[in-house]
């Protein structure tokens, strides 16, 4: 009974308040109606150019598909055959669990890839687009000169040649593109510089091209971890998810670097790469 009386009393108080100050509640209702009316009017008057802001800024479908293609493990450049020192780290550094492998690849992303090859892609892509072949050659020479072991140099040269051959097949019948490829071939192409040329043919911003390059690297490295650690598919997907979440920050860092700030100082990777050359049992070429 007391609960019922309390409920009735509460209702009565609210009713009395409305009776005492009807103008306040009427003003609130009127204000709410005005806001709703204005919102409807804005929506009705909005032009198609105003409404789909994200659609207008989106990457064209053809360019998006080209980036996906370039990042795909199916691209015939041989990336799957390299572990970049990971196989040696399993042998000599105790990279034998999912968590250790995940931390190892995360460090490699931020301390090696972002500071070196990703930064090269950013500069080379812009140089290709403005036709600055002198700067392209400088970047290509830098990659060749900073590979710290023969395995690392052979990897970037082989993948660079393979991507150049793929581009030549794609560009048959397009003289302006073939001239660029002739210039690239003449400088013993490295993979980051060849990738930058391929990405420059799209309408993708530099940052999007860096995301594609880094994700392609991440997929190859996770596959190397699955085979060499070894790990299961679920573990591999967890590692790939972590790398995918960290790649945008790595791309941002790479894009901000000046030519004078780029570096390729990864002594542990260099030592492991050198040891891998004489490792007793190997699945990978690096």
Q: Residue 282 is encoded by which pair of tokens?
A: 């190997």
Write down the residue that tokens 């994700």 correspond to. 215
Q: What is the pLDDT of residues 148-185, one digit of tens each?
A: 999 999 999 999 999 999 999 987 777 778 889 999 99
How confident is the model over 91-117, as a mean pLDDT?
A: 96
d(CA 232, CA 244): 18
Which residues have C-beta within 8 Å of that of residue 123, sequence separation ≥ 6?
135, 139, 259
The confidence band for 23, taking pLDDT boundaries of 50, 70 and 90, is very low
Q: What is the pLDDT of residues 29-85, one digit of tens each?
A: 454 445 444 443 444 343 333 333 334 478 899 999 999 999 998 899 999 999 999
- Is the pLDDT at 145 greater than 80? The verdict is yes
Q: Residue 131 is encoded by which pair of tokens?
A: 């036709």
Sign of CA dihedral 177, 179, 185, 191: negative
Write down the residue that tokens 């590692």 correspond to. 239
- Is the pLDDT at 6 greater than 80? The verdict is no
Prediction pTM value = 0.79
d(CA 215, CA 130): 26
The region of weakest confidence among 40-49, 95-104, 220-229 is 40-49
Q: Residue 214 is encoded by which pair of tokens?
A: 């880094």
Question: How many Cα neighbours within 13 Å face the side chain of 186?
Answer: 10
Instruction: Provide the pLDDT for residue 34.
Output: 54
């Amino acid at each position: 009974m007391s609960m019922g009386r309390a409920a009735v009393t509460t209702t009565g108080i609210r009713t009395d308040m409305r009776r005492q100050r009807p103008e306040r509640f009427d003003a609130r209702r009127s204000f709410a109606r005005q806001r709703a009316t204005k919102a409807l009017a804005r929506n009705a008057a909005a032009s198609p150019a105003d409404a789909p802001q994200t659609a207008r800024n989106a990457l064209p479908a053809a360019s998006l598909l080209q980036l996906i293609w370039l990042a795909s493990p199916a691209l015939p450049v041989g990336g799957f055959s390299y572990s970049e020192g990971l196989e040696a780290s399993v042998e000599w550094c105790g990279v034998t669990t999912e968590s250790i492998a995940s931390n190892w690849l995360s460090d490699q992303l931020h301390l090696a890839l972002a500071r070196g090859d990703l930064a090269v892609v950013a500069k080379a892509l812009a140089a290709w687009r403005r036709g600055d072949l002198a700067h392209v050659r400088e970047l290509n020479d830098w990659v060749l000169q900073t590979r710290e072991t023969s395995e690392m140099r052979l990897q970037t040269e082989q993948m660079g040649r393979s991507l150049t051959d793929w581009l030549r097949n794609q560009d048959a019948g397009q003289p302006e593109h073939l001239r660029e490829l002739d210039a690239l071939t003449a400088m013993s192409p490295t993979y980051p510089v060849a990738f930058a040329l391929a990405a420059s043919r799209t309408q993708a911003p530099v940052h999007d091209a860096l995301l594609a390059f880094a994700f392609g690297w991440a997929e190859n490295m996770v596959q190397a971890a699955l085979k060499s650690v070894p790990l299961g598919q679920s573990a591999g997907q967890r590692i790939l998810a972590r790398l995918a979440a960290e790649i945008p920050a790595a791309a941002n860092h790479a894009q901000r670097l000046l030519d004078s700030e780029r570096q390729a100082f990864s002594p542990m990777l260099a030592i492991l790469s050198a040891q891998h050359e004489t490792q007793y049992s190997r699945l990978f070429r690096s």
